[in-house]
Structure formats: structure tokens, C-alpha cells
């Protein structure tokens, strides 16, 4: 049994593009469907840092810091809006191995630096995972206006207010983890992206359209343990816990 985790997510950039839903479905497990907003699927790159990562109930002082960047999209399964990760690059080797084994997440070891200075975040990630396709992301990002919280049915709500993610285990089974947190505080944002080969490493061309940017200083989260989705007799899938 895997214990739930507590952590903080800090200094996040949400970099988002609309893409063809058929293209996105081709990259997803057959049991998941690309979620749509205004008829489009969405592809996102999210650099940030985890702080105070620890088993639930442990003192915050025992947690570790873990800079990370993920490439993700938005899916539905049994009507639940969720996230699907194509890759997650992170600094901590032990944490990467643990997340792969325990949560079946496609984590890759990377060397990452994140500096916050004068209201701007400087982020640099270079993948160092043995045998993996190379991936690099270098950017500076910053908030540009007043903070806000997303409203119902807005694009911002669609992109950030997600409380479950799905993964595919090595045996092909679908698994999910629930994530509990407060509503996001967001800012309109700008970014200067110097290098991005992470999308290519995941089989996507970087879109020609300008991305939609949001920044958040972050929030605290609690995750459940990883749970297995079992097929039902009707061909749909019901969720049960292993």
C-alpha cells in the first residue's frame, strides 16, 4: 500500500496550446479521451518546484524540494475531468525512481535550476535520464497583471482545476490518483522560452500559435495513493482500489 503524499507546488507557469483532438487521442491510451474546450484539445507545459514533499502526516520539516517540469493534456474518463502526463522531468533521482515504481508515472531524471528574483522565475531543465530521448527547457516567466480565480466554464478553470490524474502501468492497466487542493490563484503571465525540446521528445511539434500563459505562486496539495481502474462487464471502466 502506498501512502498518500503532502507537498506544495510553487512558482508555476501554465503554458497552453489548443490542438487537434484527433492528434491528441492518437497519443492517449484507448481508455482515455481528450477533453475539449471550444472544440479543441489542449497541450500544456508546466515548470515549477515541489516543496516539502513527504508522506501525509509527516512534519513539513522532513519534506524535500523537487524542481519539476511536466508535459500534459486534459482527459475524461467516466465523465471525470482529469490530467494525463506524457512526461515529468524532475531533479531528484530517488524521487524519480520512486514515482516510476509506485505511481507508474513517466518521470525522467533531469538537472533543473529554478531561481525567483525581482518577480521573475528563471527555469532551466536538461534531461539526464539514461536511455531517454533528450529534452531541454529554458525559460523566464512572470505575472503581468492582478491575481484572479477562474470562473465557471472558463478556459482557466478547464486548464487548472483538475483533481485527478491517470497513468498507464507497464502491464497496460489504467490507474488514477486523486489530488486535493484549494482553488488556484492565477495571474495573467508572459514568458520568454529560449529552448523547448520536451514537446518533440513526446512526439509533438511545438505549435505555431501563441500559447496562453498563466502564472501561480502556488498552493499545497494532498494526493491519494495510486488506484487501479478495473473494466466493468459493460465495457466501461469502474474504479477500484488495489
Q: What is the pLDDT of residues 40-68, one digit of tens each?
A: 999 999 999 999 999 999 999 999 999 99
d(CA 220, CA 78): 27
| Separation of CA 90 from chain center | 12
Check whether 236 has a pLDDT greater than 50: no
Q: Average pLDDT in the 94-115 region?
A: 82
Backbone torsions φ then ψ of 237, nearest 5 degrees:
-125, 130
DSSP 3-state of 233: coil
Buried b (16+ CB within 10 A) or exposed e, 149-166: ebeeeebbbbbbebebbb
**pLDDT confidence of residue 237:** 41
**pLDDT confidence of residue 242:** 53
Check whether 3 has a pLDDT greater than 80: no
Least confident of 37-46, 95-104, 156-165: 95-104
Check whether 70 has a pLDDT greater than 60: yes
Strand partners, 53: 64
Instruction: For the chain, list the domains and their CATH numbers.
Output: 5-233 (2.40.400.10)
Least confident of 12-26, 46-60, 86-100: 86-100
Residue among 93, 128, 125, 165 at smallest CA distance from 13: 125
Amino acid at each position: 500500500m502506498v501512502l498518500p503524499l503532502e507537498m506544495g507546488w510553487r512558482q508555476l507557469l501554465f503554458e497552453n496550446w489548443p490542438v487537434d483532438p484527433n492528434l491528441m487521442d492518437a497519443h492517449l491510451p484507448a481508455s482515455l479521451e481528450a477533453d475539449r474546450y471550444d472544440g479543441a484539445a489542449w497541450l500544456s507545459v508546466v515548470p515549477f518546484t515541489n516543496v516539502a514533499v513527504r508522506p501525509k502526516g509527516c512534519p513539513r520539516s522532513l519534506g524535500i524540494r523537487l524542481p519539476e517540469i511536466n508535459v500534459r493534456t486534459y482527459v475524461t474518463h467516466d465523465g471525470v475531468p482529469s490530467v494525463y502526463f506524457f512526461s515529468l522531468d524532475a531533479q531528484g533521482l530517488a524521487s524519480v525512481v520512486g514515482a516510476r515504481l509506485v505511481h507508474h508515472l513517466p518521470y525522467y531524471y533531469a538537472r533543473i535550476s529554478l531561481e525567483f528574483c525581482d518577480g521573475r522565475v528563471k527555469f532551466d531543465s536538461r534531461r539526464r535520464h539514461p536511455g531517454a530521448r533528450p529534452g531541454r527547457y529554458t525559460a523566464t516567466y512572470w505575472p503581468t497583471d492582478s491575481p484572479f480565480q477562474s470562473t465557471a466554464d472558463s478556459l482557466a478553470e478547464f486548464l487548472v482545476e483538475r483533481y485527478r490524474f491517470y497513468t498507464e502501468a507497464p502491464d497496460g492497466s489504467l490507474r488514477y490518483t486523486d489530488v486535493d487542493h484549494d482553488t488556484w490563484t492565477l495571474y495573467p503571465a508572459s514568458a520568454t522560452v529560449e529552448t523547448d525540446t520536451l514537446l518533440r521528445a513526446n512526439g509533438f511539434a511545438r505549435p505555431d500559435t501563441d500559447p496562453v500563459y498563466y502564472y501561480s505562486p502556488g498552493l499545497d496539495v494532498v494526493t491519494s495513493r495510486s488506484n487501479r481502474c478495473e473494466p466493468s462487464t459493460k465495457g466501461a471502466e469502474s474504479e477500484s482500489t488495489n
